[in-house]
Every structure is written in C-alpha cells, then in structure tokens.
Amino acid sequence: MPTALITGASRGLGAQIARQLAPTHDLLLGGRPSPELDHLATELDGASTFAVELTDYDEVAAAVETISELDVLVHNAGVGSSLEHVSDTPVEEWHHVLEVNLVAVAELTRLLLPALRQAEGHVVFVNSGAGRSAKPRWAPYAASKFGLRALADSLRAEEPTLRVTSVYPGRIDTDMQRELVAIEGRDYDASQFLRPESVAAAVVHAVETPADAHPQDIVLRPTGRG
C-alpha cells in the first residue's frame, strides 16, 4: 500500500484524516509523543508513530532519514493565536505562530522532498479560511496561513512531478475551536462549525483523485446544517 504521513494526528482533524486513510494507506502518525498518539496507532492496526516535535529541526531531520519513499504528506499540525489586536500582540506571539504554522511545515517538506519525488507523491496543506481573508485580531494566524498558501503555490510550480493541494476549511468543531470561542466570549454551538469528519473526507477525496487530475485548491464552508 502507499504510505501517508499525517502531522498533528493525535486528535481532532488529524485523527479523522488518519482513520479515513487507514484502509488504503500505510500510516505514519505525526505528533508530539503522547498516549493519544500511541492509542491511535493501536486503534489503526499497522500504523506507526512519527513522534517528534516539529520545531526541533535536528530531531525531525533524524526521524525522516529512514523514509526513502513517501506517497502522501498531509500537513495538519498547527496552532491558533491569542486573538489580540496588532497593537497588543507581542513579538513572541508572532515568532511562535509563524514558527509552528509555516517554518516547521516548510522544513519538513524540504526534508521529505526526495522521498516525495521518488513516489511522485502528493502534498496536502490543511490551510484555513484565514489563509484567504484576514480579520481583526487574527493577524499572526492569518499571516501564517497566507504564508502557507504561498508555500504551497511555490512548491506546486517548482515540483511538477508532485501534486500539491491546499484545503481551506472554515472553522472546525475541535478542542482548539472551543478555546477560541471562549476567548471571543461567545457560547459554543457545534452545529455552526464544520465536522472534522467532513474536512477529513475532503482531504481524502483530494488524495484519491485519479492521477490524471491535479486538485489544487479546495474551499469548505459550514452550512449550519450539521
């Protein structure tokens, strides 16, 4: 079977992507070492963990040395931001959000390019609606996602043997979403957000698109009919 590496796989959207790819792919489950990651690997019999801190670049470089061929790389790991106005956002917040959401993604992609080229593989970037439109108090997060969009577009132009897909979901019903809504001071209504299973299905659909077609951008918005 083809091999897929999914970052941020221990819970939420990443775990759903892993579950939906498991029947057709050998899985490498990326994430910080945790009981949740180990449990998912046990649940998905035959899956292996890729338990690294993505911003520890020496650790990542060592971990990818054994990967000689990779069919699918799904960049799902990421962090939110503190939802401050630009005037109140400290430089540490900018560094943290951009490091996790953009720089670490670019470095993992760079390190895995030989394995992806070998397989003529597929890179999927789970972006965000914030990667297409920036709103007040979302500047660091939106900047990281606009940067992720640029990374995907450049990679697609530079690597003609690869397929590169950006997925732009609206807000998703996850633990991180609950935290963001609490920061915004609103009541949480899960029906107003996309289900992780629905976004995962879009990712899997892109991966399973026949090789004669190149799915480049997928935009998902919640309907409120969940």
* Rounded CA separation 135/146 (Å): 12
188 is catalytic: no
* Rounded CA separation 157/152 (Å): 9
Dihedral (CA of 10, 14, 124, 23) sign: positive
- Nearest residue to 171 via CA among 2, 44, 12: 12
- Give, in order, the Cα–Cα distances in Å from 8 to each of 18, 127, 135, 225: 10, 13, 25, 27
The catalytically annotated residue of 57, 141, 168, 188 is 141
- Owner of token pair 């949740």: 36
Amino acid at 172: I
- Owner of token pair 């990281």: 144
Do residues 187 and 136 lie in contact, with contact meaning Cβ atoms separated by under 8 Å? no
Dihedral (CA of 143, 144, 150, 154) sign: positive
- Nearest residue to 202 via CA among 16, 9, 10, 11: 16
Positions annotated as catalytic residues are: 141
